[in-house]
Structure 1
């Protein structure tokens, strides 16, 4: 069984279409899962929502999906969430909020956005000198306590950093990276940035093995018209997004 893993599209329908085209060229997948944060961003939230609605993929809710779905008066709203929310109907926002926190997409394969018990806390990452880096194994183990013991493969996103970690005597954890947002800054203390280091759209393919074999994992980077996406961000008044989309880094 081949599972295509999409995450953190953030309203970048151009990057999403490039990934879907690349997946078709590779022979497609038996199942495609969306790990959330689908629409928030100063790009094409409505178009991205429509594309995903037509695909009807199994999808988990990301922290930005939850924020876009919340009341407009909520003080936790960030500019990218407001941009998306203003372009959605109440019914569309309700669809976002109704997505589950976790989803078992195949026996022993569990999908979630950030952690199995939280949509906004990092699983595989720590913050060191304002940058996301891989967290110590002991910390990752503690964060996995809410995970079903029968899980052999966990699929997550949120950090926008491609990672593949096999926990000794535990599951394999795979983060494919972000399709539509290759870098971001987060002012939540401690303030930090995440940077993929290139403008490519990232996704993954997992080929399941037998019960005692976790399978094959492919982290894929796809080129697309990131300059058009950057111009869209500039038109929306978000030059830092434009820089990230062009380079994969936040402005220095």
Structure 2
């Protein structure tokens, strides 16, 4: 069984379409799962929602999906969430909020956005000198909490950083990286940035092993018209997003 793993699209329908084309060229997969944060961002939230709605993928709720669904908006709502909220219908926002926090997508495989019990706390990351880096293994194990040992594979997103970690005596954790937002800054203490280091749209493919064969994990980086996405961010008044989309880094 082959599973395509999409995460953190953030309203970038151009990057999503490039990933879907790449998947088709590779012969497709048996299942595609979406790990959330689908529409928030100064790009194409309405168009992205419509494309994903047509695909009807198994999807978990991300922290920005929850924030976009908030009603009414308040003064503390982040600009990317407000931009998306203003362009979605009430029914679309309700559909985002109704998405589950976790999903078992195959025997032994569980999916969630950030952590099993929380959509906004990092699982595999720590903040060091203002950047996201891999957290100590003991910290990751503690954050997983009482995850049922039947799960041998954990699929998560949120950090926008590709990761593949096998925990001693535990599951393999796979984060495919972000499709539509290759870098961001977060002012939540401690303030930090996440940077993929290039503008590519990233996703993952997991092949479940059978008959004694091991599971296989692949991270794919797809080029697309990121310049068009950057221009859209500029038109929305978000030059820092434009820089991130062009480079995979945040402005210094």
Structure 2 Cα separation of the partners of residues 80 and 51 of structure 1: 19
Matches within 5 A, 1:1-252: 1-210=1-210, 214-252=214-252
Q: Does the aligned pair in 2 maintain the 1:206–1:215 contact within 8 Å?
A: yes
Structure 1 Cα separation of the partners of residues 216 and 44 of structure 2: 33
Q: CA RMSD in A?
A: 1.0
Match of 1:230, SS state, is helix
TM-score (norm 2): 0.98
1:74 Cα offset (Å): 3.2
Match of 2:105, SS state, is strand
| Structure 2 gaps, min length 5 | none
Task: Tell me the number of residue pairs that the alignment of Structure 1 and Structure 2 aligns.
Answer: 252
**Residues 179-227 of structure 1: CA deviation (Å, up to 9, x unaligned):** 0000000000000000000000000000001386550000000000000
1:148 Cα offset (Å): 1.9
Moved over 6 A (4+): none
CA 1:108–1:212: 2 relative to 1, 3 Å: farther
Structure 2 Cα separation of the partners of residues 81 and 109 of structure 1: 30
1:75 Cα offset (Å): 4.2
Q: Does the aligned pair in 2 maintain the 1:172–1:214 contact within 8 Å?
A: no
Structure 2 Cα separation of the partners of residues 100 and 48 of structure 1: 19
1:68 Cα offset (Å): 0.2
Q: Does the aligned pair in 2 maintain the 1:116–1:146 contact within 8 Å?
A: no
Structure 2 Cα separation of the partners of residues 238 and 73 of structure 1: 20
Structure 1 Cα separation of the partners of residues 151 and 211 of structure 2: 11
TM-score (norm 1): 0.98
| Structure 1 gaps, min length 5 | none
Structure 2 Cα separation of the partners of residues 82 and 177 of structure 1: 24
Structure 2 Cα separation of the partners of residues 23 and 15 of structure 1: 12
**Residues 21-53 of structure 1: CA deviation (Å, up to 9, x unaligned):** 000000100000000000000000000000000
